[in-house]
């Protein structure tokens, strides 16, 4: 496919827009899940000791970090599969794997930075 093709440009523009929207929704999901959902998966023994709240939240934050990394891996894999499908079926790109990998790396970098910020806020 030639980039000079008008429908090809529209397909790539749509590709870029839905990847950005996916990143925004992923960031929102991480904030929501870390605040409301992930705490239900973490045992209370990491939060409480002898009826008192623990002074050290390292174990709890480590558990939260593990959960959020697993969530990021699942969401990243879903995005990669969606990108491969879109590029091969809709955009009919010759460089499907290269573009999908590049998009996956960008997703991983942005998501990694966001996860570090979330976990850093856990220790504050």
Instruction: Note the pLDDT of residue 28.
Output: 94
Question: Block means of pLDDT (10 residues each) for the chain, length 124 residues?
Answer: 59 89 94 86 74 71 88 94 87 80 92 90 74
Instruction: Note the pLDDT of residue 88.
Output: 84
Q: CA geometry: angle at 63 spanning 31 and 40, to 5°?
A: 65
Instruction: Note the pLDDT of residue 70.
Output: 94
**Measured distance CA(80)–CA(3) in Å, rounded:** 22
**Measured distance CA(107)–CA(24) in Å, rounded:** 11
The model's pLDDT over 94-106, given as tens digits with 9 standing for 90+, comes to 778 888 889 999 9
Instruction: Note the pLDDT of residue 95.
Output: 79
Instruction: Note the pLDDT of residue 24.
Output: 94
- Collapsing DSSP to helix, strand or coil, 52 comes out as strand
Cβ distance 107 to 76 under 8 Å? yes
The predicted model scores a pTM of: 0.80
């Amino acid at each position: 496919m030639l980039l000079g093709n008008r429908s090809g440009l529209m397909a790539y523009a749509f590709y870029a827009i839905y990847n950005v929207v996916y990143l925004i929704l992923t960031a929102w999901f991480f904030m929501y899940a870390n605040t409301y959902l992930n705490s239900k998966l973490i045992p209370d023994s990491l939060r409480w000791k002898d009826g008192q709240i623990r002074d050290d939240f390292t174990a709890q934050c480590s558990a939260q970090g593990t959960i959020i990394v697993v969530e990021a891996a699942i969401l990243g894999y879903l995005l990669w599969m969606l990108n491969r499908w879109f590029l091969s079926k809709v955009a009919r790109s010759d460089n499907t794997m290269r573009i999908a990998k590049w998009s996956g790396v960008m997703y991983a970098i942005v998501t990694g930075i966001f996860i570090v910020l979330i976990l850093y806020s856990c220790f504050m």
